Structure 1
Amino acid sequence: MANTETSLKEAASIEGAIGAALVDYTSGMALGTIGGGKELDLNVAAAGNTDVVRAKVRAMEMLGLGEEIEDILITLGRQYHLIRLLRTQGSNGLFMYLALDKERANLAMARHQLKKIASELQV
Structure 2
Amino acid sequence: MPGIDECLLEAMTVNGARGAAVIEWTSGLALGMVGETRDDDPETTAAETAELARLAAEQTAFAAFVEKQDKNTATNTATDPDTAEVAEADTGAGAAGDSPVEDVIVTTRTCYHLLRFVDTAFDSGVFLYLWLDRREGNLALARIRLRDLARRLALV
Give unpaired runs (5+ residues) of structure 1.
Answer: none
Normalising to structure 2: TM-score of the pair? Answer: 0.72
CA distance in 2, matches of 1:108, 1:32: 24
Aligned to 2:72: none
Q: Which secondary structure does the structure 1 equivalent of 2:154 belong to?
A: coil
Q: 1:57 to 1:13 in 2, by over 3 A?
A: same
Aligned to 1:83: 115
Q: Which secondary structure does the structure 2 equivalent of 1:64 belong to?
A: helix
RMSD: 2.0
Aligned to 2:147: 115
Aligned to 2:9: 9
CA distance in 1, matches of 2:13, 2:62: 37
Q: Which secondary structure does the structure 2 equivalent of 1:32 belong to?
A: strand
State the identity %: 35
Give unpaired runs (5+ residues) of structure 2.
Answer: 68-99
* Larger proportion of helix: 2
Aligned to 1:53: 53
Normalising to structure 1: TM-score of the pair? Answer: 0.89
Instruction: Report how far residue 40 of structure 1 moved.
Output: 5.6
* Larger proportion of strand: 1
Are residue 95 (structure 1) and residue 102 (structure 2) matched? no
- Give the number of the structure whose alpha-carbon radius of gyration is greater: 2
CA distance in 2, matches of 1:58, 1:38: 25
Aligned to 2:32: 32
